[in-house]
């Protein structure tokens, strides 16, 4: 499947909106590494928002749906080469990426079996103004 194909699938599954700010302005590192980090951050935010909607924690508005599409378009808007991003997508091991997302959330104290822990992490990240926190919103 091409990046465009996955974008269509993920866009249909994700919540989209509009935003004046673009979290995730990741500098340094290869385009592939920057893209992967942004996909991880957005995916973490999606998991938190899914578990914490009733607590008022949601994804921050974005014109792009889905982690892959959103990360790609944000980086393109920051000047990244679309062909390099396509290559990063093609080379990505998404099973390993899912493990990376789970591990990153666990390091922050979140446990998918305890949704409240995801909400606590989300609220802390929003309060700290971290990249993850800027990808979420409260209220």
Largest Cα–Cα separation, the chain: 40
pLDDT of residue 139: 87
pLDDT at position 28 is 64
Count of structural domains, the chain: 1
Question: What local confidence, expressed as pLDDT, does residue 24 receive?
Answer: 52
Q: Report yes or no: 103 and 47 within 8 Å, Cβ to Cβ.
A: no
- Residue 17 belongs to domain spanning: 3-138
SS3 content of the chain, % helix, strand, coil (to 5): 65, 5, 30
pLDDT digits (tens, 9 = 90+) for 123-136: 999 999 999 999 99
- Predicted pLDDT at 22: 43
Tokens matching residue 50: 């899914």
Q: How confident is the model at residue 9 (pLDDT cuts 50, 70, 90)?
A: very low
**pLDDT tens-digit series, residues 21-56:** 445 555 568 999 999 999 999 999 999 999 999 999
- The pair of three-digit structure tokens given for residue 104, joined into one six-digit string: 């990153």
């Amino acid at each position: 499947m091409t990046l465009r194909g996955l974008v269509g699938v993920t866009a249909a599954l994700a919540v989209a909106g509009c935003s004046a700010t673009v979290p995730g302005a990741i500098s340094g590192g290869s385009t592939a590494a920057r893209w992967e980090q942004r996909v991880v951050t957005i995916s973490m935010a999606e998991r938190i928002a899914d578990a914490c909607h009733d607590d008022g924690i949601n994804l921050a508005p974005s014109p792009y749906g889905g982690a892959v599409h959103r990360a790609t378009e944000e980086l393109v808007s920051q000047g990244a080469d679309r062909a390099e991003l396509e290559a990063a997508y093609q080379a990505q091991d998404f099973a390993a990426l899912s493990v990376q997302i789970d591990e990153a959330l666990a390091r922050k104290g979140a446990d998918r079996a305890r949704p409240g822990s995801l909400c606590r992490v989300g609220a802390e990240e929003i309060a700290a103004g971290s990249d993850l926190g800027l990808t979420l919103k409260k209220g």
